[in-house]
Structure 1
Amino acid sequence: MGFCIEVRGEFACFTRPELKVERVSYDIITPSAARSLFEAILWKPAIRWRIRKIEVLRPIRWFNLRRNELGNVVPVNSVNAARKNGSGALGCYIEEERQQRASLLLRDVAYRIHADFELTDKAGPADSAAKFAQMFRRRATKGQCINQPYLGTREFACAFSLVEEGTLTEAAIDDSRDLGWMLFDMDFSDPVNPQPLFYRATMHQGVVQVPLPESAEVRG
């Protein structure tokens, strides 16, 4: 059972993991970022979203931005110690940790994303695909979401709408290119040491076909 949503935003940044100092976005949305959009509308332990196709509806345009960022995070050991002791120093002060970083972002983006879901081993006897399909369709139609959907980073919020089957919408852009190796998702089979997964993304006439996670096209 498949679903389709359109998302639009003024800016987006799907950060390349190999460029850690300065943020540089991939050319288009990654499957993991697309999955998070569906999970923002409906997330349940009993289902797992799978992205099948991405249609790019706006020309790929870039935008340079320099902004202040926090240069440090609270150490995990400090969090664990505070949890154990009931108190601890968990503050980060921007005046001490401020860093200016340049970012190469996407601007004026719009995507039409196709996805389906499968039931997980956490599904109960009362759970069914039809039940979750109705829940998703109802929530997406009303614009309801668990958290505000965003395009790569939380400051780049986006609008979304459900695309019903047979609805006339704008065509994908007339652009074909090899997008190179792109982050597919994270493999959390080992929660302590999750591993990134990649796939070779190719866009034909504005459309990118996304393989399934178990496909040979997805590599660690």
Structure 2
Amino acid sequence: MTRGIQIKVWGDYALFSRPEFKTERASYEVLTPSAARGILEAVHWKRAIRWVIDRIHVRRPIRFETIRRNEVAGKAPYTSARQAARGEKPMPYLVVEDDRQQRAALVLRDVEYVIEAHFDMTDRAGPGDNPAKHLEMARRRIERGQCAWQPSLGTREFTAFFGPVEPGELETVPDALRGERDLGWMLHDIDFADGMTPHFFHAVLRDGVLDVPPFTPRGRAAS
């Protein structure tokens, strides 16, 4: 795969929220493809490319833990924000102390993944953009620990640390992850070109490896 990379990510906590839980947060058992794409975009984001997740390796046993988190109950109205941007009214705001609520969350503990991905060139690529250039930039940033913004493991307060994959690192599988594990329907990605339509796929973990099927947003063909 000429445009492919591998990146190792890890952290103390992770929360990849299942959409069927509305009030309390509950995480999927493993990193979702959309969250993996978000991590790669944090490392190397350019309009000329779009990251595509091919495979996710789970490198540590799946462990859950229940915690309580502070959240803001409301959100600023979109219409008011647009009117404020046009200078028609003051910018809306939220007072955290007046709108705070505490919720339980079922989160993942002590996680580590290896993401295998490639990128497609988009219609926004310019004359100076080419696959070799972006591939080298992405690999160099992974090796140096550089990022455009700090990546996270599903939610912003759970920091994702990242680095290169060492030779032979994927040859072993933790005993707890051997065999086949049906993860059910998992969020694949959001199609922003089609009214933010969510897409799901049937996820199966085999010997700690999640193979991700192709996903192409509406109106954007892969190159």
C-alpha RMSD over aligned residues: 1.5
Aligned-residue offset at 1:89? 4.3
**Structure 2 residue aligned with 1:92:** 94
Aligned residue in 2 for 1:7: 9
1:133 maps to 135
Q: Which secondary structure state, in structure 2, belongs to the residue aligned with residue 85 of structure 1?
A: coil
Distance in 2 separating the partners of 1:93 and 1:84: 23
SS at match of 2:146: coil
**Which residue of 2 is the match for residue 38 of structure 1?**
40
1:202 maps to 204
Task: Say which SS state the counterpart of residue 66 (structure 1) adopts.
Answer: strand
Distance across 1 between alignment mates of 2:173 and 2:201:
22
The one-letter code matched in structure 1 to 2:163 is S
Give runs of aligned pairs for residues 1-220 of structure 1, distance below 5 A. Answer: 1-85=3-87, 87-163=89-165, 167-169=167-169, 171-174=172-175, 175=177, 176-190=180-194, 193-214=195-216
Structure 2: distance between partners of 1:204 and 1:139: 30
1:55–1:172 Cα contact (<8 Å) kept: no
- Unpaired segments ≥5 residues, structure 2: 218-223
Q: Which runs of 4+ in 1 moved over 4 A?
A: none
- Correspondence for 2:220: none
Q: Give SS of 1:150's match.
A: coil
Q: Using the TM superposition, name which of 86-95 and 2-11 deviates more.
A: 86-95
Give, in angstroms, the shift of residue 86 of structure 1: 5.8
Question: Quick check: 2:85–2:91 contact (8 Å CA) kept in 1?
Answer: no
Cα offset, 1:74, TM superposition: 0.5
How many equivalent pairs are there?
211
Post-superposition Cα deviations, 1:156-184, rounded to whole Å, max 9, x if no partner, equal 002100226xx121533342200000000
* Cα 1:125–1:137 shift into 2, 3 Å: same
